[in-house]
Amino acid sequence: MGDSSRWSGYLQSLPFLDLPTFWNSEPSARSNGIGPVLGSDPDNPLVLLRGSEVMKRLEKKDDAGRTLRDNVDDYYHKIVLRILRQSGIRRHLALEPSLAGFRQAYSLVSSRAFLLDAYHGLAMTPIADAFNHALENHVHIQTDFYVCPECGSLRECEHDSEGRDQTHDMEWKANDYDAYYEMVSNADIVPYEEVFNTYGEKLCNAELLVQFGFIIDPNDNDTVNFDINDILREAPLSQETYNKIPCLDDAELAPLLDSFTVSDLIFAQDPSNVEARFCINCDGKISHFLWIFLVRLLCQNMPLVGPSNSMCSDKLREMTTTQINMENMLQEGSVEDGDGQLDLPGSPVIPVLLAVAQAVVAMCGARKGGSGHPGYANRDLGDILDTIAVDRSRSRLSLSILMSEHSILDSCSFGWLDFVNAFNSSDGYNDGGISA
């Protein structure tokens, strides 16, 4: 509709947005029409994202085996293009419809829309979308979600049912809420400082880059995540043995969570975060879910399974206590024998704990080695970043993501390697592991 649109000024003020969902997405850069060809071109930013949390999101497929980009493109060809080509609509369009234009429209909606209320749903909101993101924000948008889903009215309307709350109706009539939304301050704002909103308090850089096209440094929400296959590659088991591993529910784990608050190597993960249970956080600590899962994998030759086929809670508590005590000994360095080695009390669980530590180190090494450009494995990524021109924003963003993940993996690996080296030298633990 061009200048005749009531939203013309707003739409023309919107920036060009470059989301990684559509990087390197020309037909010639695709393999069998399924995904991007990464190859080894250092100028291809997707090569730098190989094996990263961002690439996991880009390659994630739905139940039909299709990625987000596949679905966006299909929606354009099957739905949008048919609508835009209708004569009653086509003559009002200022530009010829194109897939590139639709991708840009999708990118803008993905990065700037707000979930407003039951009527508007996800909607572009002028002015409200002008604020940049920060974890410690100054303002947030405030709306009343429960409006009439038919007409959007916050007041009594013709679509109301007889069971409506009349007290709420009186409040609506006393206020003219229908005409606007509010940006409400939730922190003091100093004169001349930039005012920030938040796009989500728990968003990591991978999510920020995929959905909004930027990252923040540092980001305390960053994690490196592992799936079952990643873990089993470092602690190989037969399928039969794996199927016999006892399960633990959240209720059984709850009494142990306080113990992990004092650990230097393990953190208590939020049980509600089901998509990131097996992970390393920004401090280089593994989640307690990952630690316990590794314990379960590596203790099959120990009597940790009770008659109900659940892990013995007393044995798991013993292992947790021993883990924390060993960490304290390592940190204090005050419990040594005459040869300067850490003096450990005899315990059958210690070989399992050392095997867990070795598995974590191996997982970190495998993940780091399998990510980024293959030719950058032994090079300083910071030095490489310094050589990339400022206008090559895709490569700079990709390399920054990779550097952050490698830093997390290195921090985790160094901590557990110190743990292994300190206690593997103690008498009786030289094997450093236990057969699975």
Residue 219 lies in a domain: no
Residue 182 lies in a domain: no
Q: What is the pTM of this model?
A: 0.82
Domain C-terminal end among 112, 136, 165:
112
Residue 139 lies in a domain: no
Tell me the chain's radius of gyration from C-alpha atoms: 27
Residue 1 lies in a domain: yes
- The answer for 388, left when phi > 0, alpha when psi is -120 to 50, beta otherwise, is beta
Per cent of the chain over pLDDT 90 is: 41
Does 236 lie in the same domain as 100?
no
Does 241 lie in the same domain as 108?
no
pLDDT of the residue at 242 = 58
pLDDT of the residue at 27 = 39
Ranges under pLDDT 70 in the chain? 1-2, 25-43, 161-179, 235-253, 300-312, 334-346, 425-436
Residue 172 lies in a domain: no
How many domains are contained in the chain? 2
Q: CA separation (Å) from 339 to 345, 370, 420, 430?
A: 16, 40, 18, 16
Residue 212 lies in a domain: no
Tokens of 224: 């490196």
Burial zone of 340 (CB within 10 Å; 0-12 exposed, 13-18 middle, 19+ buried): exposed
pLDDT of the residue at 363 = 95
Tens digit of pLDDT for each residue in 151-182? Answer: 777 777 777 765 555 445 445 444 555 567 88
DSSP state letter for 27: G
Say how far apart CA 42 and CA 45 lie, in whole Å.
7
Residue 195 lies in a domain: no
Residue 210 lies in a domain: no
Say how far apart CA 360 and CA 235 lie, in whole Å.
10
Domain C-terminal end among 64, 93, 112:
112
Q: Is the preceding peptide bond at 218 cis, omega within 30 degrees of 0?
A: yes
Say how far apart CA 168 and CA 147 lie, in whole Å.
11
Domain C-terminal end among 61, 77, 112:
112
Tens digit of pLDDT for each residue in 238-259? Answer: 555 555 555 555 566 677 788 8
CB atoms within 10 A of CB 77: 11
Question: Which domain, by its residues, includes 325?
Answer: 224-424
